[in-house]
Structure 1
C-alpha cells in the first residue's frame, strides 16, 4: 500500500465522509450556511482552547447543528494557527501597544529577564488579538454566510415537504 493511498484514505475517512454525512442529514441550505459561517469564524479565534465551548454555545443559541459547527471549527484550525499572529499584530496596532515585539528572540529575552512581566505583556497582546478578531467576526461571518448560501442551495437536494 503506497503512502499516497494511505493519506488519501485518511482524508476520505476523516474529512470528506463527515462533510458528506452532514450534507445528507437533511439540513436546509440556510442552516448549513449558518453552521459553516459560525464554525469558521469561531474556529479562527486567536485564543487556543476556546473554540469547542464557544462554537457549542453559539450553535445551541442559534439552534443549528452543534456537532457540525464544532466539526467545521476543527477543520479550520490550521487557519487559526496561520491567522493568530496577524490578529495579534492588528490588535497591537489598534490598541496602541507598540512596545510589544513578537519575534522569537525578543520573546525569549523577555522571559529570561522577567517571566511574569513577559506573561503579562503576551497576555495583553493575545487579548488585543482576540479583540481584533471580535471586531471582524460579525462582518466575516455575514460575508461567509452570504457566500455559502447560494452554493448550498445549488448543492443540497431539494426536500419534498409533506403536504397536508
Structure 2
C-alpha cells in the first residue's frame, strides 16, 4: 500500500501539479492548444536528445509558453520511442533506401561485418525517419490543434476583461 502512495504522490507532484499550474497561468484556449500541439509533435521526433532544444526554439519563435511546450514534449516521449521505428521504416519507403534490418541481432551482425557501413546505414535510416516525421508533423500538429481547441474552450474557465479592479466572469 505504501508503494501506491509513493506513486500517487509522485504523479501528483510531477504531472498533475505542473499541468494544473499551467492552466491557472491564464493561457487562452488557443495558446494552450497551440502549446500542446507543438509540444506533442516535437516530442515524437525520431531523434533522441533534440526535443528540448527544438521545442524551446519553436515555442520562442511563436511566443508560446516555453516551459509548457517542453513539459508536453517530455510527456509524449514514450510515444517517441514507440514511433521511432515506424517513422524510420516510412522514411526508408519514401526515399527508396532499400531494406534495412532493424532487429538487434541484425544490427549486431551489420556492425560485426562492417561497422562503418552499419553506422552509415543507420544514420541514413534515421535521417529518413526524421524526414518522414517532418512531412507528417505540420498536418498532424494542425489537426491536433483543431481537435484540442473546442475541448479546451469548454474546459478552461471563462475570463472576463481584466482591468484594474475588474472581476472575473
Cα separation, 2, equivalents of 1:67 and 1:140: 22
The offset of 1:163, in angstroms, is 6.0
Equivalent residue runs for 1:117-128 within 5 Å? 117-128=117-128
- Structure-2 separation of matches of 1:19 and 1:72: 9
1:51-130 paired onto structure 2 within 5 Å: 51-130=51-130
Partner of 2:33: 33
The secondary structure found in structure 1 opposite 2:159 is coil
Count of aligned positions: 164
Quote the residue 1:46 is aligned against.
46
**TM (normalized to structure 2)?**
0.94
- For structure 1, the 5+ residue unaligned runs are none
In the superposition, the TM-score normalised over structure 1's length comes to 0.97
Inter-CA distance 83–163: structure 2 relative to 1 (3 Å threshold): same
Partners of 1:130 and 1:152 lie apart in 2 by 30
Cα distance in 2 for partners of 1:24, 1:151 equals 16
Please name the residue that 1:135 is paired with. 135
Stretches of structure 2 lacking an aligned partner (at least 5 in a row)? 165-169
CA–CA distance in structure 2, aligned partners of residues 117 and 161 of structure 1: 63
> Cα RMSD between the aligned structures?
1.2
2 CA distance for matches of 1:128 and 1:163? Answer: 51
Q: Give the distance between the partners of 1:99 and 1:129, measured in 2 at CA.
A: 14
1 or 2 for the larger relative contact order (CA 8 Å, sep ≥6)? 1
